[in-house]
Copies of this chain bind each other. A is one copy, B any other.
Amino acid sequence: MPATDFTKVSEQLCAIVCAHNVLTTPSSMEGYVKDWTGQYRSDALAIVRPVSTQDVSDIVKICIAHHISIVPQGGQKGLCGGGVTIEGHQSIILSLTRMNTIRSIDVNGRTLIAEAGVVLETLHQKSLEHGLIFPLVFGAKGSCTIGGNLSTNAGGSNVVRYGNTRELCIGIEAVMPDGSIINALTGLRKDNTGYDLKNLMIGAEGTLGIITAAVFKLSPVQTSRATAFLSLSSLDVAVDVLNRLQDQTGGGVEAFEYMPREAVDVICNQFPHIRQPLDEPAKTGILLEVASSRPFDAEQLDDGSIRLEDQVVQVLGELMEQELVIDAMVTRSVQQRRDLWEMRESILEAITQNGPAYHFDISLPLAQIASFVDQMNSEAAMHGYLPLTVGHLGDGNLHYALSAKGNERWDSLPLAAMKQFAFDLLIELKGSFSAEHGIGQSKLSIMTKLKEPA
C-alpha cells in the first residue's frame, strides 16, 4: 500500500482511538515490533491501541475495507513469534494493553470478568483481595496479559490441579473477522446451545477473531501447603508416585515438576546462592507441592509441623519403603519453600545464561515420557548436546532444551538432525510438538507436516 493510502486509513483509525494511540513512527513503534525472544521483528504499518470492544470492532471493519491484516498483541511474552506480523503482509499490530479493566467480580459465584489486556499478576491480586485465587501461574506473570494466555491456552506449573487457561475460562467476548462482537460472558457452568465457540477461539492465537474479555473461574485460597523435593528411583515410576500422592491427598497435588540432575546442576552453577536440595543430588528430581483448603489440614502438631505436612511425610515414607522414592526433603519453613521455587523458576534464565540452546515444548502420553527422555538423552549426548529438561510431569508436558555439552561449539552441532530425531520420536510415541507455548510463526512449517489437514 502506498504511504498516501495508509494516511487515509490512519486518519480513520485516529478518529476511533485518538491520534496518540495510533503509532506510526519507527521510534514510537519500536517497543511493539520486537519479539521477546529477539528472533522476530514486525514490519507493521502502525500500532493501534484500542480501549474498548467497540473500538476493536470499528478497527476491524476499517482494516477489512482496506485489506489490512491485524495481529493482536498482548504482553509480548510469547515464545513462538505469535505476536508479530508476517513479512510482506500489510498489517497493523493491535495492542490490547489499554483494555486492562477488571469489569466485575462475583465473589459468591467465584467468577471474574477481565479484559484481554489485564496483566496476569493483576488478576492474582484482585482475586486475593476477595479471599480467592486465580490459579494460572508461570514465570511471565508480571507482564503477560490474559488475552495472550487465552490465545495460546497457556499452562504453567499447577495445571495438574487446575487445568490450562482453557479450563479456567468459562466464557468470552470476542470480535470476529467481520467486525461483529460475540458476547458470551454469562459465566454459565453448563451451556449446550450450539457449537462451542469459546473453546475454538481459545488457543487459536487470534486467527479466528480477537478475544477482548473473558470470564474466569476463581478458586478458594489454600490454607495449608506441603512442599518437598524427591529423588525417584527412575523416571518410570513417576506416574505411579504421582497417582499415589494424588489419591492419598484427595487430589491435592498442585505441582509435580520434573527436575533432573543436569537441570539442577546448571541452575546451581549459574546462581551460586541456590543450593542442591538433597545431599546426594537426585538423578530424577521432583519438586512436589500439595495444598489444601481444609481447616483440619492446617492444624499444628506438637512438633511444629502442620497435619498436611505430616500426611505427606507418611506417604513419602511408604513410597521410600517400596523403593519408588530414594530420598526426600520436606520443607520446614517458608524460606525453604521459597528456595525450592526460586530454583524451579530460575531454569529458563539459567539455561539462557549458560549458552545457546534450542527449546522444545512438547507433551506426551504419561506412559511414554520415560521412553522419550531416555531416547532423546542418548541421541543428544552422542551428538555433543547437554539436554536440560524440566517438565510438568502431571500433564505429560516437558520443556526439553538442547544446549552444547562441555567444550562443544554450538554452531558446529547438528541441530536440524536432532530436531528431526525429536519430531520422528514424537510421532512414534504419539506426542505433541506444542504443549503450552503455541504455534506462532516458529512452528508453522512443522505443523504443516505433522497435523492432518482438518
Contact = CB atoms under 8 A, between A and B. Distances in A.
Contact of A196 (B111, B199, B295): B199
Contact of A108 (B167, B203, B367): B367
Nearest to A181: B452
A239 interface: yes
Interface stretch (A46-54, A249-257, A266-274, A346-354): A249-257
Contacts of A408: none
Contact of A191 (B176, B204, B246, B435): B435
Interface string A295-316: 1110000000000000100000
A220 interface: yes
A193 B108 contact: no
Contact of A396 (B183, B188, B249): B188
A275 to B, nearest CB: 31
A364 B188 contact: yes
Question: How many copies of this protein are present in the complex?
Answer: 2
A293 B251 contact: yes
Contacts of A431: 186, 188
A450 interface: yes
A109 to B, nearest CB: 4
A9 interface: no
A363 interface: yes
The secondary structure that dominates the A interface is loop
A31 to B, nearest CB: 27
Interface stretch (A83-91, A121-129, A436-444): A436-444
A194 interface: yes
A445 interface: no
Contacts of A451: 193-194
B155 A439 contact: no
A396 B196 contact: no
Contacts of A108: 239-240, 243, 366-367
A192 interface: yes
Contacts of A109: 239, 365-367
Contacts of A204: 195-196
A37 interface: no
Given A188-B363, A248-B295, A293-B248, A194 B439 contact: yes
A294 B249 contact: yes
Contact of A248 (B159, B166, B183, B294): B294
Contacts of A239: 108-109
A327 interface: no
Contacts of A433: 193
A74 to B, nearest CB: 16
A283 interface: no
A160 to B, nearest CB: 8
A180 interface: yes
A192 B296 contact: no
A389 B167 CA distance: 29
Given A109-B367, A152-B192, 8 more contacts: A167-B167, A186-B365, A190-B397, A193-B434, A193-B447, A193-B451, A199-B199, A296-B311
7 contacts: A108-B243, A180-B453, A193-B439, A194-B439, A195-B204, A200-B200, A250-B294
Give the top 6 A-B pairs by smallest Cβ distance, nearest first.
A199-B199, A190-B435, A191-B432, A109-B366, A189-B395, A186-B430
